[in-house]
Amino acid sequence: MCAKPSSSPELSCLFAGVRLANPLVLASGIWGTSPGLLERAARSGAGAVTAKTCTLVPRRGHPNPTAIDWGHGLLNAMGLPNPGAREEVALLREASRRLAPLGVPLIASISADTPENFARAAAIVSEARPDLIEVNISCPNVASEHGEIFAASREAAAEVTRRVKAATSIPCVVKLAPNVSSIGSIARAVVEAGADAICAVNTMPGMLIDAESGLPVLANRTGGISGPALKPIALRCVYEIAEAVAVPIIGTGGISTGLDCVEMLMAGATCVGVGSAIFSRGEQAFSLILEELLRWLQEHGVASLAEIRGTAHRPPARGSAASNPPPVPSWEGEHAEH
């Protein structure tokens, strides 16, 4: 790193043609259910905010219990409750009105059961003129209703992307799943189909069981893992996507501190999604993460995010610990079979 910069580090970034004052993005599903909460996130320090995912028609979601803190993050199966794309337009318009004076971009989020309905939902929410549209092809909590998630197949992911791009002129961010065989391959498929950016990753499917009853804790039985337990998976996914494509990435999953943000940027993310941290750190999560990020940048003499973005992809310098890893320990000897 270079000498400590004389001025405050530059936190702004350009994402798919949209300027953000800082790299923190409110993730979909957290504080995104109303214009008031989206404004609250913006005033708390978010550089951009994502509305809760909407579908073409209204959904009630899954019955309670739908979410639980299991000590290492959250497990949730909300089931995408939302008023439908047509009602969402009014909410997005009001959110845009509130966010405009703050200079914070708005990201709409859509999901659907068929490529055609993805396109219809995209066309409808485009009437509200959000800055970006997140195309959620990876929600694990409705997979049993629709079969395999679209994010699990190159062909299906690309088909949804093509349909959505044909239905709107607004830049599209395709949200990918962590539980696929090759996320880099899926990323290449959606970029070739026209995706302007990628969000990675959605939650990871998981389950908790109540030992007293012997039954799954959530009414839906399975749910999506978020929070600190997801971070190593998210970092690996963002790293592989950045190796595969050149479009900007929102890296999300387990971001709770400024150091988490630094690591995600080093993996190749352009922006960093924040969700479960609001539960663990309260409504000051954005401001706290920003303070920690700024402090780290200043202490390491970093003048802008560009200086650290993607550093994990650089070959290690000769003589560094990374270029000379310690030998793998042998478990022979006293533990060897006789």
Residue located via tokens 């996507």: 241
- Output the pLDDT for position 135: 98
For the chain, which ranges sit under pLDDT 70? 1-6, 140-147, 317-338
State the DSSP H helix or E strand holding residue 117, giving kind and residue range, or none if neither: helix 115-125
- Output the pLDDT for position 148: 80
Residues 6+ away with beta carbon under 8 Å from 305: 9, 10, 11, 13, 23, 265, 297
- Output the pLDDT for position 143: 47
- Which pair of structure tokens corresponds to residue 333? 């000897």
Contact in structure between 31 and 286 (CB atoms under 8 Å): no
Cα torsion 96, 115, 62, 176: sign: negative
Domain ranges for the chain, please list them: 13-335
Q: Model-level pTM greater than 0.95? A: no
Encode pLDDT of 75-115 as tens digits.
999 999 999 999 999 999 999 999 999 999 999 999 999 99
Contact in structure between 264 and 235 (CB atoms under 8 Å): yes
The Cα 8–Cα 192 span in angstroms is: 38
Contact in structure between 31 and 40 (CB atoms under 8 Å): yes
The answer, yes or no, to whether the previous bond of 228 is cis (omega within 30 of 0) is no
- Output the pLDDT for position 228: 96
Closest among 110, 126, 131, 134 to 47, alpha carbons compared = 131
Question: Domain spanning 13-335: which CATH class is it, in words?
Answer: alpha beta
Q: Which active-site residues does the annotation give? A: 139
Encode pLDDT of 108-165 as tens digits.
999 999 999 999 999 999 999 999 999 999 976 454 455 689 999 999 999 999 999 9
